[in-house]
Structure formats: structure tokens, C-alpha cells
A = this chain, B = another copy of it.
């Protein structure tokens, strides 16, 4: 390697052709005799030749690489699937995904963008850990840019986000359709979009069903990043009141887990004595709980996939795509 890496010319010599013919073979050009092709392929295999991507890049002006900038805990449990979706879709389209993680304070952001642009990425996906508004630096716009799990305030960039509102409507409807008439929603911090949209969808759906009583409870207090759970307190109030609900919808799976504990402490069996449903489908929680937690899966994988597709479709329309969420029904509701 290094010094003695075999080149297209070595292969040509071994195969007894011009190096241009070798180039044709590795690029699947039609105009090559089957015998010539065979000879060349044999030589390639014998010498262990691999095309040099760097040289290819210069001539063809295509890097075959797409950059993905994952903000903060982009590698968190919440959004690994976004990266996976992007990676698999890119791979399927013959592209390579380069992932860069940005730390909390975004101090390596500019350096990251520089590195990606130096490598002549054909597009960039900016993926956020949780659904929120962002304001991407102008540097980023040097190549096609798609936002995933976030959107820009000015509405100038294509983006793909989960349809939180519809998800909340769906899960609420499910609780109603399975016979529940008193539903408490344990909301997230309303400062985050998911908090606002989920409670809006919940309440709108409740209001469409006059026979159903539904209300929201503040289950999280404190600032983002400094949040404190109020679930135990809320649950204890709910269970001891004369307005005891028959179903509890949780803003996220961690809340559902606390709810399970509260129920068990009160000798109630989740899913039997009280329906529990939730959002996020963190499998490690949803599948470990007994009974399994029925929860709305966020379309992380699909967002990654969509972002790549949009980028490669060269569709320059600025679309603001909302992807629907899947309800994963287990036994809790």
C-alpha cells in the first residue's frame, strides 16, 4: 500500500490492453468485448486493484458523498434511526454518507462544514436530535441542504419532520375507540414543539368526542436540559382523586415508565386496570416494560430516508414534509 498501490496502468499491462480499456471495464462501459472484459477483470482480481477515489473525483467532479451533520446528541438513542435511514438509502443509491457530530455548543460546527465541503459532498443533511427550529449558517447553503427533524425559521429550506399533531390525534382516537372515557395526558415541556403539538392534537380530538372527558397535566417542570419529572406527584393526585382517569397518555416513554411504577405502587396493573399509551417507541423501554408499552413510533428512519431521496432527486422545490407516525400497539392500550 502507500508506495506500491496498484494502478489502472498496472492492470492494463497485466491484461495486455491500454489503460483506457481498463477504465471502461471498471466503469461498466458497454463497448468492451466479453473476452477483453474477462481478461481485465482477471487482472484486476489477480493484482487486487481498487480504483482510486481521489483521482476519480478530480476528473468526474463527483465525490459520491453526502454529508450528515448530527446536532448534539444526534447520536442519542432518539435519532440513531435517522442516521441509519439516511445511510441505507444513500447506500442503495450508490452514495456514501459521511456523518459528523456536532457537540453541544456547536463550536466545531464551522470546522465540520469546512471538512465536508473540502470533500466536495454533493449535499448536506442537517439532522436535529429533537424536533425544533434551527437557523443554519449560510456556509451550509453552498451545496443542496435538507433539514431533518427540524425546520428553518425563514422557511427557505426543504425539511422533513414528524407529524406530531396527527400522531397525537391518532393515539387519542385509539384510546377512545377502545372504550376509554376519562383520559389524562401527561404533557412534555410545552417549550418544545412536540409538547405543544401533541397536546394540541390530544385536546382537539377530545373535543370532537363530547362523551369523552380529557385533560392535560404538567408532567415536566424546569428548563430544557434541566427538566424535573412531576409524574409521581401528578399520578398520586390522579389516582387519589374522584376524577380518576381510565387511560393515561404520556408525552414520552420515560414518562410512561414512571406511570407504570406509580400504578404498580397503587396495586394497579398497567394495561388492565388502566390503559397507558405514549410517544417515541424507545424500544429498550417499550419492550422491557410489562406489559409491553403501546406507543407512537417517530418516523426517524423514514426522515433519514426522505432527506436523502429529496437531496438526490434534485427537486429544488422547498417542501416542508410531515411524515406520519406509526402506532406500535403492544399490550398496555
Contact (Cβ within 8 A) A120 B261 = no
Q: Complex: how many Å from CA A99 to CA B96? A: 10
Task: Give the total of A residues in contact with B, Cβ under 8 Å.
Answer: 54
Question: Does A260 make an interface contact (CB < 8 A)?
Answer: yes
Question: Does A211 make an interface contact (CB < 8 A)?
Answer: no
Within 8 A of B (CB), among A5-58: 5, 48, 50-58
Question: Does A98 make an interface contact (CB < 8 A)?
Answer: yes
Q: Complex: how many Å from CA A175 to CA B303? A: 45
Question: Does A323 make an interface contact (CB < 8 A)?
Answer: no
Contact (Cβ within 8 A) A53 B118 = yes
Residue numbers of A with Cβ under 8 A of B are 1-3, 5, 48, 50-58, 61, 63, 75-77, 80-81, 83-84, 87-88, 91, 96, 98-101, 108, 114-115, 117-120, 142-143, 232, 254, 257-258, 260-261, 264-265, 282, 284-285, 288-290
14 interchain pairs, CB-CB under 8 A? A50-B118, A52-B58, A53-B57, A54-B54, A55-B58, A58-B58, A76-B80, A77-B77, A77-B80, A87-B100, A96-B115, A232-B290, A260-B261, A284-B284
